[in-house]
Chain A
């Protein structure tokens, strides 16, 4: 066995180290014990391997990465883990004919509940599936832009809000486009403003720039509180587009 063959054999052994040694392996081992050049080369090769291993693992994970993943998965978990409703057939068996009397009461109850429905991240996911440009234009007065946004030249707002219906609640959307620059493309999105009571919890963030970016297939969104309102910015773009928008707004507010 020559140097070339021995080193090729040793490399294969190294790759498949759990395999039982055959006659080629023994021959390669013998060659190695007799050849200083190959011994040096193999040792050096293994050193290179360990350096590549170190370098391969040297990938810094972005700060807050796991938190963003939890935030993205969180709303989906709420939906998936909601207990399954008792089948109606089962319920009727227990209640018998008396249940018929419940029907009008349930209808009235549903109407009442729909008036005070509370929205959450799952609602935003539903909203995100809609194409806002195809939604009807609302007759109500415009939505106030969030603090610091209206002075930004890179952001253009639509003249009139569009109206989306989610969970039987009409939600006005203020569409906007954020102009790109040399490093980033333009993107479009919309803003939703709700009374705090209509959102499932008080958001932690008190400004757009401090809000956690949440992901879905349609894009990203950020929720924050502003006075007695909850403001939601939905962007048809990835987290980096949203991050740029947050930076833009933060920088604009610092300047003003």
Chain B
């Protein structure tokens, strides 16, 4: 019978969480090589700091927080994207309706956002994290997470819509075929 209180080994953590961590890292960095390095550093740190993990159920959040911390260190001297002040309060516009999602454009739009918006958005759309989880990850109150999510989502939708509209007008055939691919 499996011991529910037993903490996972690093190899078990890799088996269970490496895919989620890689996707998160990729969405943060926008680069496959950087994402791979980020996840590798995360597991090395997790291995060194194994005693920090007190219960198996907390492993996923703990690993995500390591990914985020390593990423934040790596971008300390880089352009950190659009800040809170630069992003407007969300406006409801009908232009945001019926948007086909272009994968590259989605990543481009994410990278334009400051990490404080990007991280909660990614975790929100992964649908595996509650607002409480995200608030804990970010070290901010739940209201702040909701506000950032609201602004971030509005920005993302506006950005995806604007470009899609432009593509529709300039390259209708390519745009429509892309729409088809994404919708199926």
Closest B residue to A239 using CB positions: B36
B90→A11 contact, CB < 8 A: yes
Within 8 Å of chain B (Cβ to Cβ): is A52? yes
Within 8 Å of chain A (Cβ to Cβ): is B60? no
Within 8 Å of chain A (Cβ to Cβ): is B97? yes
Partner of B99, one of A51, A59, A77: A51
Q: Write the nearest CB–CB distance from A57 to chain B, whole angstroms.
A: 7
Partner of B32, one of A11, A51, A62, A76: A62
Cross-chain pair count, CB within 8 angstroms: 119
B131→A16 contact, CB < 8 A: yes
Q: Say whether, besides A12-B146, A73-B14, A45 and B96 are in contact (CB < 8 Å).
A: yes
Chain A contact residues (Cβ within 8 angstroms of B): what range?
A: 35 or more
Q: Say whether, besides A3-B92, A41-B97, A57-B23, A15 and B150 are in contact (CB < 8 Å).
A: yes
Total number of B residues with any Cβ neighbor in A under 8 Å = 49
Within 8 Å of chain B (Cβ to Cβ): is A69? yes
Within 8 Å of chain B (Cβ to Cβ): is A90? no
Partner of A59, one of B18, B22, B94, B130: B22
Find chain B residues with CB under 8 A from A66 CB: 14-15, 18
For the complex of A and B, 8 pairs with smallest distance between CB atoms: A56-B125, A44-B97, A55-B101, A7-B92, A59-B23, A15-B146, A59-B26, A51-B101
Q: Would you mind naming 29 contact pairs between A and B with Cβ atoms under 8 Å apart?
A: A3-B92, A4-B91, A15-B131, A16-B142, A16-B146, A18-B131, A41-B94, A41-B97, A52-B101, A54-B101, A55-B182, A56-B125, A59-B27, A62-B36, A65-B22, A65-B36, A66-B18, A69-B14, A69-B39, A69-B43, A72-B44, A73-B10, A73-B11, A73-B43, A76-B48, A77-B9, A77-B11, A238-B33, A238-B37
